[in-house]
Amino acid sequence: MTDSPQQRHAALAEEIRRHDRAYYVEAQPTISDRDYDKLYRELLDLEAAQPQLRTADSPSQRVGGAPIDGFETVRHAMPMMSLDNTYSQEEVRDFVVRVQKLLPGEPLEWLVEPKADGVAISLRFEDGLFTLGTTRGDGIAGDDVTANLRTIRTIPLRLNALGQADAPGVLEVRGEVIMTRSGFAQLNRERADAGEPLFANPRNATAGSLKQLDSALVARRPLDIVLYGSGEIIGGPAIDSQSGLLDALGQLGFRTPQHTWCCSGVDDVLDAIAELDRVRPGFDYDTDGAVIKLNRFDLRERVGATAKAPRWAMAFKYAPEQTQTKLNAITVQVGRTGTLTPVAELEPAFLDGSTISRATLHNEDEIARKDIRVGDTVLIEKRGDVIPGVISVLRELRPAGAEPFDMQGATGGRCPECGGEIRKDEAFVAWRCINLQCPAQAAQRLEHFAARAALDIECLGDIVSDKLVERQLARGPMDLFGLTVEQLGPLNLGTDDEPRMFGEKNATKLVESVARARGMGLDRWLFALAIPEMGRTIAGSLGKFHDDLPAVAASPLLRNVIALDEKVAETVRINPRSRKNRPNSDADKAKREQQYKNLVAEIREMLGGLVSLGFAKISKENGSHPPNYTTEVGPSVARSVLDWFASGIGHATLERLAKLGIDPRGDRPGGGVFDGKTFVITGTLPTMSRDEAKAKIEATGGKTTGTVSKKTDYLLAGEKAGSKLAKAKALEIPILDEATFLELCGGE
C-alpha cells in the first residue's frame, strides 16, 4: 500500500531533519547534495499541492517570511543574566577561592567553556516545537526575533525528543547566535561586489542580521548558533549539572560548544583557559574568552547571584591577539576613487590562525600619530576583524636613522600607479591621485560601475576590467557602451603562453547587460560613477530629490547645504559671546550682536527651505543660536559631488551620456502625470479657481508660469482667453480646457 501524502510528508520531513542535523550540527553529511535536494523538492511539491502540510516545524519554513514593521518586546520567563568579566588570572583565582568559601568542604567541579563572540539569545520550545526566540535585551525583556531565528539551520524547529514520554513541556535554551568565519568572509566578499559597506567583524554582522525586519533577507545570512545554558524548564528528565545540560542539549539536536574542560581546582581551570586559547584559532567562529562555571546546579543555587550576574560563573577574556614583527616597508595603494592608502609590509608573522604580512596603516595622520617608521618593530593585532592593524611601535627597538613617513616623500608626489599628481585635500586626511585616467582607477572604476548595486553588468569582474584597460578597449565606463561581441569574444584573459578566451557567450552577456544599464535609475548611476564619497545610501537619497544627472550637477539643495554649513561656521567665528571673540567696546558689541542675529536669521530661512523640502531636519532648537540640524547628505559629500560634476571628468561624462542618449531618471516621490511640465493658465475656468488649478498642476508634478514661450508645455485655457491663447496657438502649444485637464489628471 502506498503512503498517504500526509505520511509521505512526515517521513520526508523526518529524513530531512536528520540530514540537516548531520550536515549542520555534526558536520558529517550522510547524503549527497543532489539527493538532499531531491528530498527537499519532493517536500516542497507535496506542500504546494496540499498547503495544510506546510506546518511551522516543516523544514521548508526556514526561508523567511514577510517583512515586519518592528519587533515585539517580550519579557523573559527567567531573567537572562550577564557575567562578571576579568582579564586577570589572579581574579580567576580569587573567584574560585570565593566560591569555595561559600561552599566549605564541598569538592568543587568546574566546567570551562569557550566564550562565543556573538549575540545572546533565548529559544523557547513548547511541547517540542520552537515557539519563541528572543534577544537578551536588558536581561528582563528582549526582542521577539523568532522569524529570524527560524532561518538558522542549526536550530531544530522540533526537538528530537518529541513524542518521547518524558519530553519537557516547556524548554528554554540559551546561547549565542554567531556567524562562522568562512560565512562572514563570503558575506563580505558579496557585499564588496555589490558595493555595500563591509561588516567589521562576524559579531557586528550577526547583530546586524538579527535586527533585520525582513526574515527572507536573514535566511541568506550565514548565521549559526551555539547553546550553553537553559532558562525555564517544565517537565522532562531532571538535569543536575552543566555537563549534563550540554549532553542533553546535544541529544535534543542542538549545537553545543565542541570543546569543554571539566576541572577540579584553580590550577586545572587556568590550564584549561590556556589550552582553550591555544586551540580557539582553529574554531570556525570567533571566541573572546573562556567561561568558568560551577558544574553542579544544586551548588549554584547555594551561592546564588547578585542583581546582575551569578556568583557561580565568571568570564575570563583573552586580550586580543597581538604579536611583534618588523615593518619592512610602507607601500602605497591606490583605491577606486584615487585615495592613496599606506600599507605596512611586514616580516610575515603568525597571528590568530593565519600568517600576516600586510596591515593597513589607514592614512598619513594615523602613521604620524603612532609615529610608525620603516625599520620599526611594531605590535600588530587582529580582533577577529579581517584586516589586521598596527597598534604601536616598540620605540626601544627602533634602528638608528629611521625616518618619519611622509606621503610626499614616499611617493615623490606622484601616484604609484600612473605617475600622476597627488594632492591632499585640506578637508580630508587622505591623499588622492587626481589623474582620473589613472589605470588603477580606470580598472577599478569599470569594476565598480559593473557592481551589482551599481549597474549590475554581468561578466565584468576584476580580471575582465583589468584586461579591458590594458588592451585599451576601455579607459572609462562610458567606453563600455561602444563595445561589441566581436571585439570582446576573443579577448584573452590569460597570458600569451596560457591563453584563456573571454568567449562569445560571456561577451554577449556583457553587451546585453551594458544595454540594460542604459535604462537604470538615477540612484544607480550616481553610485556607479564612482564619485568620491558617493555611497549607496547617498546615491539613493540624491536620486529621490533630483530628476536627472544635470539636476544633481546644478543642485540647489547641495549648494544650500554647503552655504548653510559655511554660515554656521561663520556664526562660530563672529559669536560675540564667545570668549575668544570678546567685543572691545559697547558699540562694537551691539554691532556684532546685530550681525550675529542677522546671520542666525539667514540660517533659519535657508534651513526652513531645506526642511520644507524634506532635505533637512532640525534636531534641536537653540533659541537665539542656529538650531542643530541634519541634512540628507552632509556638506563634505555635497562639496565632493558638486566638485566632481564641475571637474573635467564630470563635464565629459555628462556630455558623453547626452551623446549616447542616456538620461537616468530620479524617482522623486510625488511625481505625477505632469511631472516636469510647465503650464500657463489663462481665462476663466468653468469650475476651478486659478489657485485650485495651480495646486492641482503642482500636485501632479508640474509647475505654472505667467508667460507663454517655447518652453511652455500646456496652456490651460478658460473663457475669455486673449493674447496668451493666440500666442500658444502660434507656437503650437497643446491647449487644454478644464474638462480635458481634469481627465488627464485622472484620480491624482
Decide if 572 contacts 695 (C-beta within 8 A).
Answer: no
Cell representation of residue 583: 567685543
Closest to ligand IVH by CB, 120 or 442 = 120
Q: How far is the CB of 594 from ligand IVH (least distance, A)?
A: 58
Q: In what order do the strands lie in the sheet with 110-116?
A: 85-86, 313-317, 287-294, 110-116, 261-263
Helices (DSSP H) in 555-585: which residue ranges?
556-574
Q: How far is the CB of 80 from ligand IVH (least distance, A)?
A: 7
Alpha-carbon distance 241 to 247, whole Å? Answer: 10
Task: Please compute, for residue 533, the number of CA atoms within 13 A of its CA located in the half-sphere on the CB side.
Answer: 17
Distances in whole angstroms, Cα of residue 343 to Cα of each of 71, 367, 388: 43, 10, 11
Decide if 57 contacts 129 (C-beta within 8 A).
Answer: yes
Quick one: which segment of 78-86, 207-215, 608-616, 651-659 binds ligand IVH (CB under 6 A)? 78-86
Closest residue (Cβ) to ligand IVH? 120
Quick one: which segment of 113-121, 238-246, 391-399, 636-644 binds ligand IVH (CB under 6 A)? 113-121
Alpha-carbon distance 462 to 40, whole Å? Answer: 36
Decide if 657 contacts 663 (C-beta within 8 A).
Answer: yes
Closest to ligand IVH by CB, 110 or 674 = 110
- The answer to the question of residue 291 lying near ligand IVH (CB under 6 A) is yes
Q: How far is the CB of 83 from ligand IVH (least distance, A)?
A: 4
Closest to ligand IVH by CB, 83 or 359 = 83
Decide if 233 contacts 189 (C-beta within 8 A).
Answer: no
Closest to ligand IVH by CB, 205 or 488 = 205
Closest to ligand IVH by CB, 176 or 466 = 176
Q: How far is the CB of 176 from ligand IVH (least distance, A)?
A: 5
Alpha-carbon distance 122 to 49, whole Å? Answer: 35
Give how far the C-alpha of residue 411 lies from the chain's centroid of Cα atoms, to the nearest Å: 33
Burial 441-478 (b: 16+ CB within 10 A, else e): bbbbbbbbbbbebbbbbbbbeeebbbbbbeeebbbbbb
Closest to ligand IVH by CB, 64 or 229 = 229
Q: How far is the CB of 293 from ligand IVH (least distance, A)?
A: 7
Sole binder of ligand IVH in the list 31, 68, 77, 81 (CB under 6 A): 81
Residue 553, classed as helix, strand or coil, is helix
Alpha-carbon distance 529 to 619, whole Å? Answer: 32
How many chain residues are in contact with ligand IVH, going by CB under 6 A? 14
Residue with cell 566578499: 189
- The answer to the question of residue 300 lying near ligand IVH (CB under 6 A) is no
Closest to ligand IVH by CB, 91 or 196 = 91
Residues constituting the chain: 748
- The answer to the question of residue 120 lying near ligand IVH (CB under 6 A) is yes
- The answer to the question of residue 176 lying near ligand IVH (CB under 6 A) is yes
Closest to ligand IVH by CB, 315 or 531 = 315
Residue with cell 576590467: 465
Looking at 240-353, which runs of residues are DSSP E strands? 261-263, 287-294, 313-317, 321-334, 339-351
Q: Is 346 left (phi over 0), alpha (psi -120 to 50) or beta?
A: beta
> Taking the CB of residue 487, how many other CB atoms lie within 10 A of it?
15
Active-site choice (38, 101, 115, 317): 115
Sole binder of ligand IVH in the list 24, 125, 184, 228 (CB under 6 A): 228
Quick one: which segment of 165-173, 310-318, 330-338, 366-374 binds ligand IVH (CB under 6 A)? 310-318
Quick one: which segment of 308-316, 338-346, 593-601, 649-657 binds ligand IVH (CB under 6 A)? 308-316
Q: How far is the CB of 138 from ligand IVH (least distance, A)?
A: 12
Cell representation of residue 231: 532558562
Q: How far is the CB of 61 from ligand IVH (least distance, A)?
A: 26
Alpha-carbon distance 113 to 280, whole Å? Answer: 11
Sole binder of ligand IVH in the list 315, 356, 542, 610 (CB under 6 A): 315
Quick one: which segment of 110-118, 163-171, 535-543, 735-743 binds ligand IVH (CB under 6 A)? 110-118
Q: Which amino acid is at 53?
A: L
Among candidate residues 121, 97, 333, 358, the one with its CA nearest the CA of residue 224:
121
Q: What are phi and psi of 247, to 5 degrees?
A: -60, -50
Closest to ligand IVH by CB, 292 or 610 = 292
Q: Is the dihedral of CA 586, 588, 592, 594 positive or negative?
A: positive
Quick one: which segment of 112-120, 366-374, 416-424, 519-527 binds ligand IVH (CB under 6 A)? 112-120
- The answer to the question of residue 205 lying near ligand IVH (CB under 6 A) is no
Cell representation of residue 484: 561589441
Among candidate residues 411, 673, 652, 431, the one with its CA nearest the CA of residue 549:
652
- The answer to the question of residue 115 lying near ligand IVH (CB under 6 A) is yes
Quick one: which segment of 28-36, 75-83, 416-424, 589-597 binds ligand IVH (CB under 6 A)? 75-83
Sole binder of ligand IVH in the list 82, 258, 628, 630 (CB under 6 A): 82
- The answer to the question of residue 310 lying near ligand IVH (CB under 6 A) is yes
Sole binder of ligand IVH in the list 53, 152, 313, 390 (CB under 6 A): 313
Closest to ligand IVH by CB, 268 or 713 = 268
Q: How far is the CB of 417 from ligand IVH (least distance, A)?
A: 45
Q: Is the dihedral of CA 688, 694, 699, 704 positive or negative?
A: positive
* Residue 620 known to be catalytic: no
Which neighbouring-strand residues pair with 313? 293
Quick one: which segment of 79-87, 275-283, 451-459, 534-542 binds ligand IVH (CB under 6 A)? 79-87
Closest to ligand IVH by CB, 288 or 352 = 288
Residue with cell 551555539: 226
Residue 594: exposure state from Cβ atoms within 10 A (0-12, 13-18, ≥19): exposed
Q: For the window 563-592, what string marks contact with ligand IVH as x by the rule CB under 6 A?
A: ------------------------------
Closest to ligand IVH by CB, 261 or 645 = 261
Cell representation of residue 206: 550577526
Q: For the window 232-271, what string marks contact with ligand IVH as x by the rule CB under 6 A?
A: ----------------------------------------
Q: How far is the CB of 157 from ligand IVH (least distance, A)?
A: 23
Quick one: which segment of 108-116, 187-195, 197-205, 355-363 binds ligand IVH (CB under 6 A)? 108-116
Cell representation of residue 202: 562576524
Give how far the C-alpha of residue 182 lies from the chain's centroid of Cα atoms, to the nearest Å: 18
Q: How far is the CB of 226 from ligand IVH (least distance, A)?
A: 7
Q: How far is the CB of 210 from ligand IVH (least distance, A)?
A: 13
Closest to ligand IVH by CB, 300 or 592 = 300
Cell representation of residue 558: 547641495
Alpha-carbon distance 371 to 746, whole Å? Answer: 69
Alpha-carbon distance 725 to 717, whole Å? Answer: 7
Q: For the window 410-439, what string marks contact with ligand IVH as x by the rule CB under 6 A?
A: ------------------------------
- The answer to the question of residue 229 lying near ligand IVH (CB under 6 A) is yes
| Contact residues: ligand IVH, CB under 6 A | 81-83, 113, 115-116, 120, 176, 228-229, 291, 310, 313, 315
| Residues classed as catalytic | 115
